[in-house]
């Protein structure tokens, strides 16, 4: 599982902090203004909460998180939030962004070296079968779509994506989707994960 979110870096070395003020560019002021309007605090329709926005910033791939400036992170996250709310679609955004260079999603690795592919079959373990069965059931019961799961898998941080096995990715994606759908809460999941961890430790 993913132990520490990349942004959650309290206590880690982070280089020197430059305490100097700087002037903001017009584009930075515009992004800030857009966020204020979306928050709905000026009588406009509320289309964003600070926490939605933060969550989107924290979901940026680590490399992007480290290389983007403050307001660059804001604008990427605003786009994510507005798509999640259905205010804009990725198709509309794709049209407007045509010609603008952009990053490759980590999973989207067509043409890149990926090592040897081992075509041998293997037996699935009980937990893997359970995860598969759970996915089928959720597909029927709550109409969880393949694309929701794919999106969640593709949103894993690159190092987790590379390290996890196939069904580990599925498990992380299921948890993500259930949280997003409001069927479990982060608090419930945290309790349950701590409980299981405790049992595993006691069993050793």
Partner 1 sequence: MPENKFKPGDRVRVLKAYPPGHIRTPYYIRGCVGEIERVCGAFPNPEELALMRTGLPAQPLYRVRFSQKDVWPDYGGSAADVVEVEIFQHWLDPA
Q: Which residues bind partner 1 (CB under 8 A)?
A: 76, 79-80, 83-84, 86, 89-91, 93-95, 97-105, 108, 110-111, 145-148, 150-151, 154, 180-181
Separation in Å, CA 170 to CA 138, 156, 163, 184: 13, 11, 13, 17
Q: Among residues 14 and 100, whose Cβ is nearest to partner 1? A: 100
d(CA 23, CA 62): 27
Residue 176: closest CA among 45, 55, 48: 55
Q: Among residues 108 and 162, whose Cβ is nearest to partner 1? A: 108
Q: How far is the CB of 96 from partner 1 (least distance, A)?
A: 8
d(CA 68, CA 101): 14
Q: How far is the CB of 119 from partner 1 (least distance, A)?
A: 21
Rg (alpha carbons) of the chain, rounded to whole number: 20
Q: How far is the CB of 120 from partner 1 (least distance, A)?
A: 26
d(CA 42, CA 86): 21
Q: Among residues 128 and 161, whose Cβ is nearest to partner 1? A: 161
Q: Among residues 70 and 124, whose Cβ is nearest to partner 1? A: 70
Q: How far is the CB of 41 from partner 1 (least distance, A)?
A: 25
**DSSP letter assigned to residue 155:** T
């Amino acid at each position: 599982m993913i132990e520490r979110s990349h942004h959650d870096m309290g206590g880690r070395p982070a280089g020197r902090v430059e305490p100097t003020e700087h002037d903001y560019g017009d584009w930075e002021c515009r992004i800030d203004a857009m966020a204020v309007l979306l928050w709905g605090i000026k009588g406009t329709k509320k289309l964003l909460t600070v926490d939605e926005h933060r969550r989107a910033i924290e979901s940026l791939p680590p490399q992007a998180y480290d290389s983007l400036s403050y307001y660059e992170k804001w604008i990427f996250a605003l786009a994510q939030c507005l798509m999640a709310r259905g205010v804009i679609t990725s198709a509309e955004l794709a049209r407007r962004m045509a010609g603008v260079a952009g990053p490759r999603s980590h999973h989207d690795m067509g043409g890149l070296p990926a090592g040897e592919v081992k075509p041998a079959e293997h037996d699935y373990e009980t937990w893997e079968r359970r995860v598969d069965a759970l996915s089928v059931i959720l597909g029927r019961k709550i109409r969880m779509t393949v694309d929701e799961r794919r999106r969640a898998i593709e949103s894993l941080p690159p190092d987790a994506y590379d390290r996890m096995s196939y069904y580990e990715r599925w498990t992380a994606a299921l948890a993500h989707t259930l949280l997003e759908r409001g069927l479990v809460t982060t608090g419930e999941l945290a309790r349950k994960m701590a409980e299981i961890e405790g049992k595993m430790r006691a069993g050793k």
